[in-house]
């Protein structure tokens, strides 16, 4: 079985109310990436954040963060595309990644392709109301084809984010068309109770995803749980040969802290590494992950 590829999902747009160790500044992100690498992560996924934690969309900040990460660590780099997703056409959304990729010093290794369009309104079950009602994450087939074509001509590998089985079917069509090359890297997205957009973060939610990943394709899958605890699913993922995407961006993981302190991202990664090793599965180094995923370092 492949060594376990741990992707550290270090910040997303998480606040610090529950866990103050969510990194925001470029140097905090780079330090966290290096610490996660030491703890067993081979990929870091991050969102640039402004000083007050709000989303940062400046490509220069992304360039700065990637340079800082590379100066401290050999961890593979997976920035969000979402920072550039709110406005503009397909070219405007992917162009920052392609620009970053031109210089080895700022080149990311992955760019996410969310393989469909979905409602992303959060649900407040206590109040029995949606917090918003018009939030749509739009990814048309034409836009995704354009992204995939652009990435095929670049050293950046696509990371297919699969929110549900419809996304998986579009992903498989792209592989069929040669728009996404194998080995293809796919994230099976699970979400907590406040975000009904994806499969629920349960054994059944994950099993329903996995059922539609064909075994005759070279697809490397990883599981994440945004807004929920992934740890209960970890033994099943490790046993099934999947990989793990986890971090404080998704869930505060307070139970993994020590001496009453909330854990750092690196402590969450270390907990995953310990469980995998005790189950007999070594964790992958960045170069091993790159080989499995067809990444050119
Ligand atoms: Zn993200």
Sequence ranges of the domains in the chain: 6-293
Q: Is the pTM of this model over 0.75?
A: yes
Query: Does residue 180 come out as left (phi exceeding 0), alpha (psi in the -120 to 50 range) or beta?
Result: beta
How buried is residue 127: exposed, middle or buried, by Cβ count under 10 Å (0-12/13-18/19+)?
A: exposed
CB 42 within 8 A of CB 284: yes
- Strands (DSSP E) contained in 95-168 are 110-114, 118-119, 123-124, 129-130, 136-137, 157-162
Cα 182 to middle of ligand 1, angstroms? 23
Cα 11 to middle of ligand 1, angstroms? 8
Q: What is the pLDDT of residue 89?
A: 86
Cα 46 to middle of ligand 1, angstroms? 6
Q: What is the pLDDT of residue 85?
A: 57
Reply yes or no on domain 6-293 having CATH 3.40.50.300. no
218 vs 239: CA distance, rounded Å: 18
Omega before residue 6 within 30° of 0, cis: no
Of 135, 240, 124, 148, which Cα lies nearest the Cα of 188? Answer: 240
Cα 48 to middle of ligand 1, angstroms? 10
Tell me how many degrees the CA angle 15-191-37 measures, rounded to the nearest 5.
Answer: 60
Q: What is the pLDDT of residue 87?
A: 63
Q: What is the pLDDT of residue 84?
A: 60
Cα 107 to middle of ligand 1, angstroms? 17
| Residue where the block lists tokens 């971090």 | 247
Cα 193 to middle of ligand 1, angstroms? 18
Cα 45 to middle of ligand 1, angstroms? 6
CB under 5 Å of ion ligand 1: residues? 12, 80
Cα 76 to middle of ligand 1, angstroms? 15
C-alpha distances (whole Å) from 117 to each of 131, 151, 154 are: 19, 20, 25
99 vs 92: CA distance, rounded Å: 11
Cα 47 to middle of ligand 1, angstroms? 6
The tens place of each residue's pLDDT in the chain, 297 residues long, gives: 999 999 999 999 999 999 999 999 999 999 999 999 999 999 999 999 999 999 998 999 999 999 999 999 999 999 998 766 556 788 889 999 999 999 999 999 999 999 999 999 999 999 999 999 999 999 999 999 999 999 998 999 999 999 999 999 999 999 999 999 999 999 999 999 999 999 999 999 999 999 999 999 999 999 999 999 999 999 999 999 999 999 999 999 999 998 889 999 999 999 999 999 999 999 999 999 999 999 988
Cα 80 to middle of ligand 1, angstroms? 5
């Amino acid at each position: 079985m492949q060594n376990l590829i741990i992707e550290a999902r270090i910040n997303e747009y998480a606040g610090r109310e529950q866990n103050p160790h969510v990194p925001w500044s470029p140097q905090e992100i780079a330090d966290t990436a290096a610490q996660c690498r030491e703890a067993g992560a081979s990929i870091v996924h991050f969102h640039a954040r402004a000083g007050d934690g709000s989303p940062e969309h400046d490509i220069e900040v992304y360039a700065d963060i990637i340079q800082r990460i590379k100066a401290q660590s050999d961890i593979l780099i997976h920035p969000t595309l979402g920072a550039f997703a709110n406005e503009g056409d397909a070219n405007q959304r992917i162009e920052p990644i392609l620009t970053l990729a031109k210089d080895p010093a700022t080149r990311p290794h992955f760019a996410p392709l969310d393989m469909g369009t979905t409602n992303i309104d959060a649900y407040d079950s206590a109040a029995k109301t949606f917090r918003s009602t018009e939030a749509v994450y739009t990814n048309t087939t034409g836009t995704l084809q354009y992204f995939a074509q652009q990435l095929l001509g670049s050293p950046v590998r696509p990371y297919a984010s699969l929110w549900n089985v419809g996304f998986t079917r579009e992903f498989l069509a792209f592989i069929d068309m040669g728009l996404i090359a194998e080995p293809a890297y796919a994230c099976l997205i699970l979400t907590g109770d406040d975000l009904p957009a994806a499969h629920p973060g349960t054994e059944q939610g994950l099993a329903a995803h996995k059922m539609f990943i064909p075994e005759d394709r070279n697809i490397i899958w990883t599981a994440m749980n945004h807004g929920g605890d992934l740890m209960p699913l970890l033994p099943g993922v490790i046993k099934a040969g999947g990989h793990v995407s986890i971090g404080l961006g998704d869930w505060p993981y307070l139970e993994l802290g020590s001496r009453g302190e909330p854990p750092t991202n690196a402590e969450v990664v270390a907990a995953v590494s310990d469980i995998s090793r005790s189950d007999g599965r070594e964790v992958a180094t960045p170069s091993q992950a790159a080989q499995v995923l067809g990444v050119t370092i």
